[in-house]
Amino acid sequence: MDLIGATMIVITADQVDSRSTPDAATATLARLNTAYAGGLVLAADRTAGDEIQMLTRDGQTAIDILLDLTRTGRWSVGFGFGRVREPLGASIRESAGDAFVAARRAVDRAKKKPTRFAAATEPAGRDSPDLEALVDLLLILRARRSEQGWELHDLLVGGLNQADAAYEIGITPQSASKRARAADLKAEAAALAPLARLADALDAAVASETQR
């Protein structure tokens, strides 16, 4: 089989404390496959026990899925960068390649980190401390956000402007502005596109190296 590698990132996620908490994979897979269908090369699926896996078309989808999964604190998440065997299998479970190997290595390391995230490449020599460090900072920021901050975040992400979100919540626009600052909503929004570009650049660099 030939290998292809550009614009595809493997995400492997493992449920935290799965032996003592209810299974979260079924509901999570349904949500991911609905919300991110346009950015997934193959449908997200359970690969083993409490582990799920995705193959994304671009860095933005990968970052969006990461933030979705890590918000609950119930998943350790690994990004794998590398080439993927073509033709792809009929499902994620029937597909293979270097990116899958890298994602396995990444999620194993993510389980030992406070942020529950890691990224890896295959071959291993081009792992990206830059991407991982910047994502870690964003995850730490989000972990400190209050419920009130999340309430405003969700309304803004859902399409409301800040004034309309304030009305929906029942607070003044001034209070909404203070809440947005305390939740660092502008900082997060500004970081998303650069992080996606960094993921795409790493993916392209790994693909270019493995073609030599």
CATH classification of the domain holding 111: 3.30.70
d(CA 171, CA 191): 27
d(CA 137, CA 70): 13
Model pLDDT, residue 6: 44
Query: Are 121 and 158 in the same domain?
Result: no
58 assigned to some structural domain: yes
Check pLDDT > 90 for residue 191: yes
**Which of 128, 157, 174 is the C-terminal boundary of a domain?**
128
Query: Are 17 and 108 in the same domain?
Result: yes
Query: Are 18 and 84 in the same domain?
Result: yes
Task: Give residue 158's pLDDT band: very low, low, confident or very high (50, 70, 90).
Answer: very high
d(CA 92, CA 173): 46
133 assigned to some structural domain: no
Q: What percent of the chain has pLDDT over 90?
A: 79
Query: Are 177 and 121 in the same domain?
Result: no
Higher pLDDT, 10 or 18: 10
Query: Are 49 and 99 in the same domain?
Result: yes
208 assigned to some structural domain: no
Check pLDDT > 90 for residue 138: yes
d(CA 53, CA 43): 9
Query: Are 90 and 177 in the same domain?
Result: no
136 assigned to some structural domain: no
198 assigned to some structural domain: no
- For residue 54, list its beta bridge partners: 11
Q: Which of 81, 82, 87 is CA-nearest to residue 2?
A: 87
Query: Are 119 and 169 in the same domain?
Result: no
Query: Are 65 and 13 in the same domain?
Result: yes
Task: Give residue 1's pLDDT band: very low, low, confident or very high (50, 70, 90).
Answer: very low
Domain of 78?
2-128
Model pLDDT, residue 166: 98
191 assigned to some structural domain: no
33 assigned to some structural domain: yes
Query: Are 97 and 40 in the same domain?
Result: yes
Domain count, the chain: 2
